[in-house]
Every structure is written in structure tokens, then in C-alpha cells.
Amino acid sequence: MSVPFTSSEARESTNRPGSGPVCFSGSGLAASLAPSCMAWVALGANLGDASRVLGQAAHAVAALPWTQCLAGSSLYRTRPVDSSGPDYTNAVIAVQTALGPLELLHALQAIELAHGRERPYRNAPRTLDLDVIWHGGLVRDSIELTLPHPRYLQRAFVIEPLAEVVEVLAGRFAASGKTLAGAGFAPWAPEWPDFTVRQALAEAQGIEKTAEIWLETASISHSQP
């Protein structure tokens, strides 16, 4: 993934609200970067050393061309939802990227394959699962990609880590006297249910926040449990 993507989608400005980098850590994006936006990626695994694989996957996402990983959630453990096998380990990361939605999807699929992802049947257990949940507020419905993700509001293992990262990012900007919208990210995050709905969903799906540290370098900011 060291060669920049060059298709017209990466240069497309529609639904790309921001153009300047917002770097909390790491080297960040080039100052001359084409219009970029916020995107949210869900990570999950229930085979092998899931925590280690999710950490490696997050760093692989951060290493993609024209992409900066702004923050990652804590790890969450949950029973399989619409899937099978052992419990899942899940997380969410927020990225700033100039990759188009399909380019980001294809890059995530390549990372999955690098970690042994197989699809022997629908909803099979996974060594790694990466989903584009939201991309710059874009709404699209195609065979290959639907945005926002059509089922994210039904999944506590997406909603809980997403809400955690939203709080972290908003707090960092507030501490510096800025807002994400003021920095050029409007919209910057998907919607999520209120606390009562979230709590009921979390209880029904058996989600548990863990204390594992999975993002250990300065290139990605980690939301501590």
C-alpha cells in the first residue's frame, strides 16, 4: 500500500468538507493535500490473536496513502452478532483521508487478505473484518458499498466505540479552543442513538469494554479505558 491511489475518486471534491490536516499525533498529511474528509472504520476479529491483529490493522490503515488515523477506541468484547464462532474483539478508528470511499474499501479489503481473511460462507468467523462505517457524510447505495453502513445503528460493538472516539476528539478540540466543524470537518461523525437506546443494545448483545492496550505507538492516539 505504498503507492498512492490515482483514480479520479481520490481527487473528487464532492462531499469532501475539509481540506487541511488535523494532526493529533504522527506525521500527518501533506499540507498540500487534496480535499480530505473524516471517515470511520470498524475493526473486528474472533479468530487467532484478535487484539494483536486489530492493532496491526489500525497501523496499516494509518500507513495508507493520504490517510491519517486520528484516534482509536478501547477494545470491546461481544458475542457474535449475525455471525458465529467465539466472542469478537471490536474497535473503531477515526481517520482523515483523501481516499475516496471505494478506494478506502479496497485498501481495507487488501489489509484483511494480508491477515488471512477468508469467506467460506456468509458471516463465517473472521481473522479480521474491516468496515467503512461512514465517509464524509456521503450517502450511497451500491452493490459494492452502502454508506452509511446499513446496520451500524443496530450494533453495539460499533456504536459504543464510536461514541467513545467522538467524545475524545471533541474534547481535544474543545481543550484547544477549536471545534471539528471549525477545522473544516462538517459533517465529521455519523449519528448514534441516545444513551438509553445504546444501553439496551449493549445489554442485549453482551458487549464488554476491555482494558487491553492495543495501540502502542505515537502514530495513533489511543482512547484509554
Whether 222 maps to a domain, the answer reads: no
Whether 202 maps to a domain, the answer reads: yes
| Catalytic option among 16, 77, 117, 155 | 117
**CATH number, domain with residue 16:** 3.30.70.560
Active site residue 198: no
> What is the rounded average pLDDT of the residues 183-194?
75
Residue 199 grid coordinates: 444501553
Q: Are 67 and 95 in contact (CB under 8 A)?
A: yes
pTM of the predicted model as reported, rounded to 2 decimal places: 0.78
Residue 76 has pLDDT above 80, yes or no: yes
Q: Give 195-223 pLDDT, tens digit per residue.
A: 899 999 999 999 999 988 888 654 455 45
Q: Give 65-74 pLDDT, tens digit per residue.
A: 999 998 999 9
State how far the Cα of 146 lies from the Cα of 148, in Å rounded to an integer. 6
Whether 140 maps to a domain, the answer reads: yes
| Catalytic option among 16, 77, 129, 155 | 129
| Catalytic option among 131, 141, 151, 172 | 131
Active site residue 131: yes
Which pLDDT score, from 0 to 100, does residue 178 have?
Answer: 65
Active site residue 129: yes
| Catalytic option among 126, 155, 172, 198 | 126
Whether 214 maps to a domain, the answer reads: no
Cα–Cα distances (Å) from 78 to 90, 133, 163, 188, in that order, read 8, 18, 16, 27
Whether 223 maps to a domain, the answer reads: no
Q: Considering the chain, what is the average pLDDT of its residues?
A: 76
Total of domains in the chain? 1
